Amino acid sequence: MTLYDKIYKWLDDRFKLRELLPPIVKHPAPTNVVSNPLYCLGGTAFLCFLVLVVTGMFLAFYYKPTPDEAYKSIQHIMTEVPLGSLIRSIHHWSANVMIAAVMLHMIRIYFMGAYKKPRELNWVVGIFLFLIVTTFGFSGYLLPWDQLALWATKIGTGIAGSIPIVGGYIALILMGGNDIGAETMTRFFAIHVLILPAVIVTLLILHFMMVRIQGISGRL
Ligand code: HEM
């Protein structure tokens, strides 16, 4: 009996897993998925997301989201907090790897035709996930409040502002005024740590439920 079987039996005796959770707990992956690493890209993106959540929680212990203190608090994290620079670097690199993994995942879905019937709706959910992931990156970029952050946000909000008709409103909502300042920082922080996490968790639940209900595409 493997360790997995022992744990499963222990839980099954107590919580009747056999009845409640069979599709989740005992669901071997089809052979085409096991033998093809391209099917790991979505999982890689999800793993990065989990790493980002955990490292983000640690960063939130020390980061101060005000124009006066943000830059100093990042310096404090990098130079004085034990393992601070490691945690911040892992957060930074996981964000980059996540964006790369999501893009490659999208390319795999496109070229394998996995977006076709019956998975059209999961593709649509995926498009929203892609937008959320890039907005995570954009909103996080401002938080260190250094020159790079300020000018990158200036360009980003400028691009948003150039959208016909609604652009001006979007830029105003993002910046909380006519220029980047304390209001912008509060908004970007709220977007980064409250709004986007809530939205992405909801979308990921939908995404994974659809994968599970429809099964993975390709031959079995
Ligand atoms: C946060 C971002 C995302 C995560 C964590 C994620 C995760 C996953 C995982 C774990 C799977 C099953 C295994 C696999 O095919 O890799 C999957 C399948 C799928 N994903 Fe994503 N995904 C994300 C974004 C996207 C995007 C941007 C799209 C497309 C616009 C997309 C469309 C799909 C589709 C259509 C499937 C079903 C594939 C099939 O049946 O072969 N996903 N996703």
- Is any ligand 1 atom within 6 A of the Cβ of residue 119? yes
Does any domain span residue 19? Answer: no
Does any domain span residue 189? Answer: yes
| Domain region containing 96 | 35-214
Number of independent structural domains in the chain: 1
Residues 155-187: tens digit of each pLDDT: 999 999 999 999 999 999 999 999 999 999 999
Residues 45-65: tens digit of each pLDDT: 999 999 999 999 999 999 999
Does any domain span residue 110? Answer: yes
Predicted pLDDT at 80: 98
Does any domain span residue 17? Answer: no
Q: Which of 136, 207, 219 to mutate to test the pocket of ligand 1 (most atoms within 8 A of CB)?
A: 207
- Is any ligand 1 atom within 6 A of the Cβ of residue 137? no
Does any domain span residue 170? Answer: yes
Predicted pLDDT at 26: 62
Does any domain span residue 3? Answer: no
Count the Cβ atoms, other than its own, within 10 Å of residue 208.
14
Does any domain span residue 30? Answer: no
CATH of the domain at 176: 1.20.810.10
- Is any ligand 1 atom within 6 A of the Cβ of residue 95? no
Q: Which amino acid is at 153?
A: T
- Is any ligand 1 atom within 6 A of the Cβ of residue 50? no
Q: What pTM, to 2 d.p., does this model score?
A: 0.90
CA of 66 to the centre of ligand 1 (A): 36
Looking at every residue in the chain, the average pLDDT score rounds to 94
Query: Which is it for the CA torsion 119, 123, 129, 130, positive or negative?
Result: positive
> How large is the greatest C-alpha to C-alpha distance in the chain, in angstroms?
66
Measure the CA–CA gap between 4 and 1, rounded to whole angstroms: 8
* Segment 117-125 mean pLDDT: 97
- Is any ligand 1 atom within 6 A of the Cβ of residue 52? no
- Is any ligand 1 atom within 6 A of the Cβ of residue 106? yes
